Amino acid sequence: MNIWTLYSFFAGLINFILGVYVCRRNPGKTLNRFFALTAFSFALWGISEFGQRISDTPEAAFGWIMAGGPGWCFMMSFYLHFAIIFARKENYLKNIFGYLFLYLPPILFLYFFWTTNLIYKHEIIKMYYGYTCFPGKFAWAYSSYYTILYFFAISLFIYILRKGTSIEKRQVKPILWGYTIAWLIGTISNVIFPLYGILLPELGTGITIVWAGSTFYSIFRHKLFITPTKEREITASLMFNLEKGNAYFTKEENSAKAYKIFIDQISHGIPGLCFSKFQVEKIREKYKILYTPIIWITFKDNDNSTISPKDIDIITSTILDFIEKTNNPIIFIDCFYEIRAINGRDRAMIWLDTLKNICREKEAILLFSISSPMFTRECLTKIEQAMQEIR
């Protein structure tokens, strides 16, 4: 077994693991599903290439080559679908023509690949790195379509760089670099070199790790994979009947009442997400919150349950993602003073209004804990005007 067979095998294995992990984190989220489909298509391509390179006969290698066709035929379509969702441009897919553009060409390419020599020649050749085959006379058609989809996705990422929130701009930069590097190296190695008779090992399968890995890193780093988990439900009646889409606050020194309200909601089947100024373990131990996700708002960045108080765009993105995964959740903010102290009064109040609008639109409950001595009379008046106090 030579190094090139291992290269293909590990590319397939790593992409498969990434796809499974993302899918398991939240299989109901469309963004996760299309990332997973992209990763699985990379994995299929890598494992099939591994099989063809270790095959003992041309017939066995041919079987593996045919098996890998769905992977490389559909990978770009799946990824562009991912990019459309990521850029919130789902209106491109409101009619049948968008889906035909994405998925009819790869179906045709796969059919011609399986039945003719037009896309890849069905002549299996033994090289020092294993069996392989070379592009057919219409391979340029697949390469052109692939390139069109690449630039379509690039245009969406550039749009995010120009028009997106600060967190979206941070997310898209590593995606853009990883995607471009992988596309460039893969196209040169797997299409251009073979067309011009340059006989070197194809690198396309392995470089997909950069493609998938940069995307995975970017969206995972910015908290898009928080999993909604419900608490154990109790049979007692709700003590606090909060209306969906409304914003509430409590005025108190230690947040005890606000946590009582939050626990009352999540123990009656309402999904919850908590942002606290205290360590997660301390909150879970003190209030017996077992499963509900809690984010520690701190400058420490030691795990995936922390966000800096200055990164209010990341907090907003995390809330948006959580609301999309759930039905009518409650969002509890126990760190508004810290956020206001770091970001300034004006920006903090604008952020509060943004959260109010999001929760009203999505019919989520918004709950703040406010410590009166920490705020001026003017600021408290604005908070009282913006939200309903629970006394």
Rounded to the nearest 10 degrees, how much is the dihedral formed by the CA atoms of 210, 213, 216, 221? -100
Instruction: Please tell me the predicted confidence (pLDDT) of residue 300.
Output: 75
Residues near 9 by beta carbon (within 8 Å), at least 6 away in sequence: 46, 47, 50
Instruction: Please tell me the predicted confidence (pLDDT) of residue 225.
Output: 52
Beta strands per DSSP E along 13-110:
none
Instruction: Give the chain's domains with CATH numbers.
Output: 3-221 (1.20.1070), 247-389 (3.40.50.300)
Residues near 316 by beta carbon (within 8 Å), at least 6 away in sequence: 165, 167, 351, 354, 355, 358
Instruction: Please tell me the predicted confidence (pLDDT) of residue 132.
Output: 85
Instruction: Please tell me the predicted confidence (pLDDT) of residue 104.
Output: 96
Instruction: Please tell me the predicted confidence (pLDDT) of residue 264.
Output: 94
Contact 51, 64 (CB under 8 A): yes
- Largest Cα separation within the chain, whole Å, is 82
Contact 75, 106 (CB under 8 A): no
Q: pLDDT in tens for each of the 391 residues of the chain?
A: 678 788 889 999 999 999 998 887 666 678 888 999 999 999 999 999 999 989 989 999 999 999 999 999 999 999 999 999 888 788 899 889 999 999 999 999 999 999 999 988 888 888 888 888 888 888 889 889 999 999 999 999 998 888 766 666 777 888 888 888 988 898 888 778 877 777 778 888 888 898 888 888 887 665 545 666 778 788 888 899 999 999 999 988 888 999 999 999 999 999 999 999 998 889 999 999 988 989 999 887 655 578 888 888 878 878 887 887 788 999 999 999 899 999 998 898 999 999 999 999 989 999 999 887 778 788 888 888 889 999 8
Contact 312, 297 (CB under 8 A): no
User: For tokens 């028009």, what's the residue?
Assistant: 163
Instruction: Please tell me the predicted confidence (pLDDT) of residue 248.
Output: 94
Give the CA distances from residue 277 to residues 188, 297, 374, in Å, rounded to whole numbers and listed in that order: 51, 5, 14
Contact 354, 316 (CB under 8 A): yes
Question: What backbone phi and psi angles, to 5 degrees, belong to 282?
Answer: -65, -40
Query: In which region does residue 130 sit, left (phi positive, over 0), alpha (psi from -120 to 50) or beta (all else)?
Result: left
Contact 74, 41 (CB under 8 A): yes
Q: Say what the pTM is.
A: 0.65
Two structure tokens written together for 74 = 């559909």
Instruction: Please tell me the predicted confidence (pLDDT) of residue 78.
Output: 95
152-160 CB contacts, 8 Å cutoff, 24+ apart: 152/80, 152/83, 153/79, 153/80, 153/83, 153/179, 154/179, 154/180, 156/83, 156/84, 156/86, 156/87, 156/89, 157/83, 157/87, 159/87, 160/86, 160/87
Three-state secondary-structure class, residue 262: helix
Instruction: Please tell me the predicted confidence (pLDDT) of residue 16.
Output: 95
Q: Burial, 301: exposed, middle or buried (Cβ in 10 Å; 0-12, 13-18, 19+)? A: exposed
Contact 109, 140 (CB under 8 A): no
Q: What angle do CA 267, 270, 273 make, to 5 degrees?
A: 95
Residues near 131 by beta carbon (within 8 Å), at least 6 away in sequence: 52, 53, 55, 58, 61, 65, 124, 125
Instruction: Please tell me the predicted confidence (pLDDT) of residue 106.
Output: 96
Using alpha carbons, select from 150, 272, 294 the residue that is nearest to residue 223.
294
